Structure 1
Amino acid sequence: MTRCLRRIAPLALALCHLAAATPAAAQESAAAEALFDRGLADMEAGKYETGCASIAESHRIEPKPGALFTLAICESRWGRVASAFTRFGDYLALYEQMTPDQKSRQGERAKVARKERDRLGPLVPELSLSLPPGAPAGTVVKRDGRAVDGALLGKGVPVEPGEHVVSTQAPGGPVWETRIQLAEGEKKRVALQVNGASTAAPSGGISGRRTAAFVAGGVGVAGLVLGGVTGALTLGKKSVVEEHCGSAIGVSDETACDQTGIDAAESASTTGLVSTIGFGLGLAGLGAAAVLFLTEPKQGEEAAAATSRRIRARVLAAGPDGVVIGARGAW
């Protein structure tokens, strides 16, 4: 008796699990059927949004070929040509895996699915999205609130007709957003923007080298202005010195001056030094700006220039007698 009980115990346990699972499965099947009936009624009444949603949920709970086919019909009537085209394709793929007996129970559904898929194909719009050159790594592209797989960028993706909201966001940057309208069968390519991204030269931005050239040029102009102003002051002091030194004040020593001449000579010495330095800086700044402009890589050559040659403009020497500017680099 004990040996017999041991043999039937596993079978009894399995039957218990099956008995417990059967009510739950029956409940899910009943829920799926109720959702399908409700969705079918809404679809026939022209309430496609709620009807298709109910049928889709019914198919999710209990996947059946009939529910999938009806969902494709609902989405087709709703105007969601991309979804309907995909659903019909899914149904036909499932149909090809059926046994002859199962296929016979599907009636004319396969024939209708093929006909509808052929009709819908030319109506499905395609949208191709691409990021600009130089977009930061990790930039997120979203279409209608959902992230777009990076592998799909630059490729035509089937979408529904109508308006689509597309956005980009670089890591830590602001969101850029645009709205795109697509008609049935339209194929559109859209070059996206990325706010706060360092893009390539075609974006119209000013390169760092050109910015440095502008700064150097500004310093050069300021230096020349300073040199000119202080030079004019020095010339003015020189005439004062001539009037208050040497024979002008009745002494034979031309280096002897009265107090006015001494003050003018000291002031002229200071302004003369400032003028010399100003002219030197001015020439150095303008020379550096010229070198930076002349050695700036052209568009499309910047990447090659970064690896094949390096040029640095610099002031080699500066002093009261002038400046020396040049360029150092390697090819």
Structure 2
Amino acid sequence: MTRCLRRIAALALVLCPLAAAAPAAAQDSAAAEALFNRGLADMEAGRYETGCEAIAESHRIEPKLGALFTLAICESRSGRIAAAFTHFGEYLAQVDQLTPEQKSRQGERPKVARQEHDKLARLVPELSLALPPGAPAGTVVKRDGRVVDSAALGAGVPAEPGEHVVSTQAPGGPVWETRIQLAQGEKKRVELQVKDTSAPPAGGLSGRRAAMVVAGGVGAAGLVIGGITGALTLGKKSVVEEHCGSGIGVSDETACDQAGMDAADSASTTGLVSTIGFGVGLAGLGAAAVLYLTEPTQREPTAGATSRRIRAGVLAAGPQGVVLGASGVW
């Protein structure tokens, strides 16, 4: 009797969890069926967004080949061709694992799935993302907000046509972001950028911005010096007129007394300084303006793209003026 009770107790320990799990499984199955039916109705009514979402949730709760096939059909109709291509491929791979009898229950689905998969293969874009050489270990790459597995970097991955937002972030560094446009059937490879973790914090000046500030400061200082020395030169001119030529009662306008000679020498020096000051000032402000106007903006990197590099500055300066120039690659 005791041995019999022990056997019953042991059997109860095995059956009780199964009995408790059965209602939960039944509830999940009922929920999955209700979601599938609702999603199918929405899909047939053209409400693809809600229809595909309900069918996908049904398949998540209770994975079934019929739900997976229907989800691929829904996504194809809604224009999400990359998702449809992927799910048709998953369906075909699972069908290949079935027995002949199980395959026969699928009816025409495998044939339709193969036709749709082959058709979409010509339309689905492929996007290959690659980090630059020397990118810090642990750099995180995201596409449309989702982390891209490091194993997928460098490989062509199916992507939906349209715009995609891709970002990189080195450990402890700032985020670099770009937008990529894909057309149907396009295969694009993009080498990403990674912002230097040693870059100045927000509010600091980059090297280019610092050069703009310095050039602008030098330009402003040059104009001030040119203005002051120009005013001094004009003042000396009146002294020269009073102490040379008719000012001292002689017909030779180049004849001057000592005060006139001193004023003329001083005016010559300040005039030269004024000319150079104005030249340097204009050159500095011009260089700052060129640096500002040609500052590169973040653009979509593409394979084989040529970067724009422009250098501007003073090519020559002297008593007669200055020469500004710019050189580089556009």
Scaled by the length of structure 2, the TM-score of the pair is: 0.57
Change (3 A) 1:103 1:79: same
Deviation at 1:198, TM superposition (A): 8.1
For the pair shown, which has the larger CA radius of gyration, 1 or 2? 1
**What secondary structure, in the 3-state scheme, does the structure 1 residue paired with 2:114 have?**
helix
Distance in 2 (CA, whole Å) between partners of 1:81 and 1:154 is 22
Worse-matched range after superposition: 142-151 or 174-183? 142-151
Contact 1:131 1:191 (C-alpha < 8 Å) held by counterparts = yes
Matching of residues 280-319 of structure 1 within 5 Å: none
Task: Name the aligned partner's letter for residue 24 of structure 1.
Answer: A
**What secondary structure, in the 3-state scheme, does the structure 1 residue paired with 2:42 have?**
helix
Deviation at 1:75, TM superposition (A): 1.0
Q: Which residue of 1 aligns with 2:7?
A: 7
Deviation at 1:101, TM superposition (A): 2.3
Question: What's the CA shift string for 1:175-220, capped at 9, x where partnerless?
Answer: 1111111011101111222222689xxxxx99xxxxxxxxxxxxxx
Q: Which residue of 2 aligns with 1:36?
A: 36
Question: What's the CA shift string for 1:96-140, capped at 9, x where partnerless?
Answer: 222222222111111111111111111111111222333333322
1:135 aligns with 2:135: yes
Change (3 A) 1:22 1:196: same
Distance in 2 (CA, whole Å) between partners of 1:152 and 1:19 is 43
Q: Which residue of 1 aligns with 2:191?
A: 191
Contact 1:135 1:197 (C-alpha < 8 Å) held by counterparts = no
**What secondary structure, in the 3-state scheme, does the structure 2 residue paired with 1:9 have?**
helix
1:113 aligns with 2:113: yes
**What secondary structure, in the 3-state scheme, does the structure 1 residue paired with 2:166 have?**
strand
Which runs of 4 or more aligned residues in structure 1 lie more than 4 Å from their structure 2 counterparts after TM superposition?
none
Contact 2:128 2:188 (C-alpha < 8 Å) held by counterparts = yes
Query: Structure 1: where are the runs of 5+ without partners?
Result: 200-204, 207-331
Q: Give RMSD over aligned pairs.
A: 2.2
Matching of residues 89-108 of structure 1 within 5 Å: 89-108=89-108
Deviation at 1:16, TM superposition (A): 2.8
Question: What's the CA shift string for 1:80-103, capped at 9, x where partnerless?
Answer: 111111111111111122222222
Identity %: 80
Task: Name the aligned partner's letter for residue 60 of structure 1.
Answer: R
Q: Which residue of 2 aligns with 1:68?
A: 68
Matching of residues 79-94 of structure 1 within 5 Å: 79-94=79-94
Task: Name the aligned partner's letter for residue 93 of structure 2.
Answer: A
Matching of residues 222-241 of structure 1 within 5 Å: none
Distance in 2 (CA, whole Å) between partners of 1:194 and 1:119 is 37
Scaled by the length of structure 1, the TM-score of the pair is: 0.57
Q: Which residue of 2 aligns with 1:151?
A: 151
Q: Which residue of 2 aligns with 1:78?
A: 78
Q: How many residues align?
A: 201
Contact 2:82 2:158 (C-alpha < 8 Å) held by counterparts = yes
